[in-house]
Structure 1
Amino acid sequence: MEASEFSAVGLTNNVAAVRRTLEVAGVEFIAENGGGAGVRLRKV
């Protein structure tokens, strides 16, 4: 997945598991909004 140039490439269930784990840890995935997609930590 780390070697993917754009979207994460790998088995679908593995990509989903990594995403869920990051979201549980407080990471928010930000959609493309003109400045590019990204991530940020959720405010608590």
Structure 2
Amino acid sequence: MAELTPEANRAARAILRWSVRDLAENAGIAFSTVHRFESTGTATESTKEKIKAAFAAHHVEITNGDYTGARLRLQKPTS
């Protein structure tokens, strides 16, 4: 899985139209933790995994191509 960066975090929040509080609630972490990560890039691996899991639960994944980012995963139609 791609590394979570502050820039990718903000991109993923934008895709979902989530505020920092929305992400904190969905990830089960404190608002201040999300704010600190986006401001400084500092977070534990456990915190980053919780954030990525919250995004994945809403079909958004963190990507690392030429630059870090996020994308909405398309759902396969069910038969």
TM-score (norm 2): 0.42
Please identify runs of 4+ aligned residues in structure 1 that moved more than 6 A.
none
Matches within 5 A, 1:1-44: 1-4=37-40, 8-33=41-66, 36-44=67-75
The count of aligned residue pairs is: 39
- Write 1 or 2 for the structure with the bigger share of helix: 2
- Write 1 or 2 for the structure with the bigger share of strand: 1
Distance 1:32 1:9, change over 3 A: farther
> Greater CA radius of gyration, 1 or 2?
2
Structure 2 unaligned segments of length 5 or more: list them: 1-36
TM-score (norm 1): 0.65
